[in-house]
Amino acid sequence: TDKSNFIKTLTPGLDKILGGGLPLGKISELCGAAGVGKTQVCMQLCVNVQIPEVFGGLGAKAIYIDTEGSFMSNRVVEIFNATGNLLKQNFNLNNRNELIKHNFTIDKILSNIFYYRCVDHVQLLACFNNIKILMEKHPQIKLVVIDSLAYPFRFVDFKDSNSMTMKTNILNNIMSISYELINKYNIAILVTNQMTTRITRDVMSNLSSSNLVPALGETWAHSANLRILLSWKNSKRQASVCKSSYLPDTSIFYKITERGFED
């Protein structure tokens, strides 16, 4: 496979289960319960996408659509420092001069993340129309993060069929803009999603049981090409790739440290 078709995470295990990194030209869904590390991974990828080409990266830019207000620039600074150290190590650099020479500096990293804050579904839709224009001006953008897609719809009344139709229409609209951008610019789209409880009725035993499923339902689930599931069991964090049309279902253990996602 062509290395330039991925955003390498520099986390060997994660790159491996992803088949090389976060794929360009696809919508990937990152799901998991609160606190598993979805936002950390999103911020990390905004740094990873900017790794200069001489160091095997894309030297690209990112858009971050923050619907929950959880993006933290000081975390990006920490993750940037860790990424710089990894590059120094991997490429046997004595100091950071080589990184600076190729514009891998914190001020460049922060200014190449186009940040949007959206609090509701109307702002989210406006934002998507806006990034179409932004991408025309900045074709170097290779990553669009939406953290998260479900949260802006929290005010939608599920009992009201009009508001449910509106929700479906807005989601469809967002998806069609996403595919338009993917086809035009070969970007990676990364969407985070929470888990919600679904009550299922076991026909055989006649008992009700509940299980955790990604929010937003089936229509949306079919739009994503790849699902990365983060879970946390017995103080161990596990990342799994599932539902991919081109990768086997596999898992790895990971940690969240000051340096970000590590395996």
11 makes contact, choosing from Mg ion, ligand ATP, none, with CB < 5 to 8 Å by partner type, with none
Shortest Å distance, C-beta 76 to Mg ion: 14
> Contact 215/224 with Cβ under 8 angstroms?
no
Shortest Å distance, C-beta 255 to ligand ATP: 8
d(CA 189, CA 151): 17
> Contact 121/148 with Cβ under 8 angstroms?
no
**Residue appearing with tokens 């161990």:** 236
Shortest Å distance, C-beta 133 to Mg ion: 27
> Contact 42/147 with Cβ under 8 angstroms?
yes
35 makes contact, choosing from Mg ion, ligand ATP, none, with CB < 5 to 8 Å by partner type, with ligand ATP
d(CA 73, CA 175): 28
Binding site for Mg ion (CB under 5 A): 38-39, 70
Residue type, 122: V
Shortest Å distance, C-beta 256 to Mg ion: 12
196 makes contact, choosing from ligand ATP, Mg ion, none, with CB < 5 to 8 Å by partner type, with none
**Residue appearing with tokens 């606190």:** 35
32 makes contact, choosing from ligand ATP, Mg ion, none, with CB < 5 to 8 Å by partner type, with ligand ATP
For ligand ATP, the closer CB: 148 or 244: 148
Binding site for ligand ATP (CB under 6 A): 32, 34-40, 68, 70, 194, 256-258
Q: How many residues does the chain have?
A: 263
